[in-house]
Chains A and B, each alone.
Chain A
Amino acid sequence: MVFDPRTLDNPRDVSAYRDQRYQGSLRDQEIALRTSTTLYVGNLSYFTKEDQVYELFGRAGDVRRVIMGLDRFKKTPCGFCFVEYYTREDAELALQNITNTRLDDRLVRADWDAGFIEGRQYGRGKHGGQVRDEYRKDFDPERGGWNRMISGRAERQ
């Protein structure tokens, strides 16, 4: 086969992030990530709605479904979602071109996901939201203001 020098600058591989709670062997996870048609999308505003996600991610192809991430306790949006496509190519296109563009004026982050299973839609942080909202240092009005540790403290006082 002829060597394709374009791969030198643009290697096609999945990112280094691995979901630590993946149920299955690492091997399965590697295979799932390389064949999946689902993206994890993060850094959303709590106020971003499902139809906006459909509109933006629909630009890359036919979306099978969107699953909005919810606070485990309050069942309200907590700033992430899963977008599932019908084909790998469409998902790849979305990943390459929507990551780091803005939705509701926030840079969204997308990455491969090994595939949605029931329960994954809930935040895994101690307070019900995403873990990153437990620790983040800045004030983010679209993600509930200060991080959950601080705002929790304020509420108790």
Chain B
Amino acid sequence: MSGIRRRHNDEEDEISTKRRKGAPLVTEVERKLQDIIGRVGDDKSKTSIESNLEGLCKVLQDDLDKYRTNIIDIITGCAIYLPQRATVYSTLVGLLNAKNFNFGGDVVERLIAEQQELLDNEKFGEAQNLAIFLCDLGNSRVLTIQSVGEYLESLVAAAFEDCVPQSRTDWFIFTVLRCLPWIGGELMEKANEQLENILEGIGKYLEQRNKQHVPILQVWSKQGSSNEQEDYLDSLFAQIETLKKLDWKEKHIPRHYVGFDVVLQDALQHNLPNFAPPIHSENSKYPYPQVVFRLFDYADCSEDGMVLPGNHSIERFLIEVEIAWIIEKNQTNRKNCAKELVAFAEENSTVPMGYLIFETIFGQMFRLPHSPLPQLFYGSLLLELCRIQATSYPQILVHSVELLYQAADFMQPECVDRLVDWFSFHLSNFQYRYSWNDWKDCLEKDSFCGSVAFAREVIEKCRRLGSYDKIIAAIPSEFVRIQPTTPEVRYMLDDETEQGYAKAQTFQQMFQERQPAEAFISELRASDPEEGYNIDDFEVFVTVMLKMAAKTYSHNFSALSKYQNTLKTVCDFAERFQERLLDTLYSCWKTNQQMMMILIDKLLKMQVLDCSQVISWLFDDKLKQEHDRQWTFEVLNQAMEKLSRHIVSVEKDYKELKERIEKQDRNGRDENNGGDVEMTVDDESKQKDLEELEAQKNKFDSLLEFQKSLYMEVLHKFIQELTNLIGDCESEAIDFSQNPRYRWLRGRFCQVFLMHSETLYKFTTALNEELFTNDVDANVLECYQQFLALRH
């Protein structure tokens, strides 16, 4: 064995020297600066932040000239990426500015340039962090309050721009509202007139604002419930107005500059220039509007005299934002994330912080159209939180699940899906132990109710993560109505009386003899060439193949690739073969939805099946009984998603090639100016490139056209289905809006808009003209209009 092992040391040395040479030149000093500046807000246990800052200032003072750019770089990074430490760094800049006026000016200049750059790159969250930081520099006497007020006024003014989408102007207003908790107090004292202008402007803006987007973003569709999900700007404005009534005295922001008042009050100050809005173009993408998510109220968490800040108190918002910052900072490390969240909770012991942490996490998990971070991260973070706070957090988690279950009938199916994925993952880490009996009431409900879907699909996914036996042992026997059936392959052709019996024997024999794919093609060929292949024999062939490969996915995959040619030749002959293939898959594997999904996905990738065939099949009458199940729509949405991803990558290739050719063109022209160049070789390769470009463009265009018609088809199927349901209900004199099946399908319809919003926006013209005309039922059309409003 030792012979195989290589001599480590020599090569390792070589690598490390190379790395040292090749790495970007980060000097020892720079690294040290990064470390001491980047961590000055940590470690509160040993010394106070104030004394840390004092120490840091002394250290930096000596280096301020020599390492000016580096220090400014690092401070800028901290201002962008550590917004939860904004007041620490604004104080630091304040102290440095007090000693060195020019340095302060350089920092401000750099921050403004950086904000412009972030906006140009559509990094709106980071740009917002900088706006808050700039305002806070007013508090630490780096900037005049007057100029900060003017800066905010110019942001408000930008929101009244004409002919731009609301999502753009919303961002300006959102930014101002977020800055006000930091600087409102100072503005009131020193620039009250501007403050009044700002508030008046915001009020005016909000009055005329379109709020059609709100329902499609709400996790729950029920109006008037205790967890009302207000529009985010309305909610924040109400919180700001409450704060104003309290003379801008909030209880959450740690204002470190107060301790340095003596040093800071005499500092020379700079003027912050007005905000320059980024250029708007047709392709600009702005953040989606949001709605506020609330899971708990006072009554849920009144323990040990801790009080949950009310819905319209600014603390509720500030705490949620800070939790979100901690999560964002640690998104690649769930352990650090949980640790920092728990530390944050301990620092704020008068507030039931555990509840707010859970509320924020669930709020992000269910955020529509997309959650800010991957679902899996929230799952592993919640596990970690329960692990390190084992005495209290698991109870909050159970409490949350109870509330979510109770509200599940009104939850959007997209959110039910996310809830199911998370909770099944969670339970599989706790041996599927849960007070399942709490869910008994759903057993009597219609199978299209959200609570039934939640319970049933959690059980199904636990089955997949664990095993059939384990989950059956864990759930009460009453759950028989919704419990999964054994996920085995169904195979009837062993029975001599079955029609396909003889043919099945033949195919079995052929498989055992390892006959090639072509042999099966001949065997399947119909006597009538018009017919192509015998469709019943094809079904038997697929059934036998699936049965023989039933043991594992690997067996299935190798069978599919071995007989790809057979499957593809037959399926290419006529669409009815694809339909029969899908029917056969379903009849063999209907109790194993995971297998169904994986096989359909594989067959799509192998191009044996077409997306459009799969979609027609999913909406066919015979599949309607499965529309209450998650898997049918998972197949649908995944097929659409994968097509989109493929097109995005084709587009990228095309654009890269185009850029390369254009660049060569430019270079060529430059060279030509310089003198004579051999043209022949260049021309030839250029010709080739152009042909390639043409081919790629055609490919891209035809894919886009295909995608458009496919998406239209999906939406059309939904429109038909929903219209029919409305008709059915009306003929039976039932209120369709209360019909569980209608509600569920309507939710699935919205899910398609939300999940594929980016793609669908490309096709709005066609959608307006060809699909969502005034002939469509107003109740169905409403979903589309709400979707459009997201980008208004």
List the interface of chain A (C-beta within 8 A of B): 1-6, 8-10, 12, 20-21, 25-27, 30, 49-52, 54-56, 59-60, 62, 65-68, 92-94, 96-98, 101-105
Contacts and interface: CB of A to CB of B under 8 A. Distances in A.
A102 B387 CA distance: 13
> Which of A5, A12, A66 gathers most chain B CB within 10 Å?
A5
A56 B333 contact: no
Contacts of A6: 81-82, 329-330
Contact of A51 (B35, B81, B334, B552): B552
A92 B76 CA distance: 28
Contacts of B37: 5
B431 A93 contact: no
Given A5-B78, A93-B377, A27 B334 contact: no
B532 to A, nearest CB: 33
A8 B465 CA distance: 35
B376 A98 contact: yes
A92 B4 CA distance: 30
Interface in B299-335: 329-330, 332-334
Interface string B754-772: 0000000000000000000
B554 interface: yes
A102 B466 CA distance: 10
Interface residues of B, number: 53
A4 B61 CA distance: 22
B461 A3 contact: no
Contact of B429 (A4, A60, A68, A101): A101
Contacts of B12: 26
Nearest to B428: A102
A85 B464 CA distance: 20
Nearest to B430: A102
A54 B598 contact: yes
A96 B336 contact: no
B74 A101 contact: no
A51 B594 contact: yes
B8 interface: yes
17 contacts: A2-B80, A5-B34, A5-B38, A6-B81, A8-B35, A20-B5, A21-B5, A49-B467, A51-B553, A52-B465, A52-B466, A56-B428, A59-B379, A66-B553, A96-B333, A97-B380, A104-B466
B421 interface: yes
For the residues of B in contact with A, the DSSP-based class is helix
B377 A103 contact: no
Contacts of B330: 6, 9-10
B114 interface: yes
B557 A65 contact: yes
Nearest to B73: A3
Contacts of A103: 428, 465
Nearest to A47: B467
A104 B76 CA distance: 46
Given A25-B11, A26-B8, A101-B380, A3 B333 contact: no
A101 B428 CA distance: 9
B15 A27 contact: yes
Interface string B729-754: 00000000000000000000000000
Contact of A2 (B6, B76, B379, B431): B76
A20 B6 CA distance: 8
Nearest to B78: A5
Contacts of A9: 330, 333, 336
B552 A5 contact: no
A21 to B, nearest CB: 6
Contacts of A51: 464, 552-553, 594-595
A96 B374 CA distance: 11
B423 to A, nearest CB: 13
A67 B553 CA distance: 10
B300 to A, nearest CB: 28
Nearest to A99: B380
A3 B77 contact: yes
Interface string B48-89: 000000000000000000000000011011101110000000
> Which of A3, A20, A25, A103 gathers most chain B CB within 10 Å?
A3
A55 B553 CA distance: 12
A10 B335 CA distance: 10
Contacts of B237: none
Interface in B14-68: 14-15, 34-35, 37-39
B332 A2 contact: no
Interface string B545-559: 000000011100100
B39 A96 contact: no
A88 B467 CA distance: 29
Contacts of B598: 54
A75 to B, nearest CB: 13
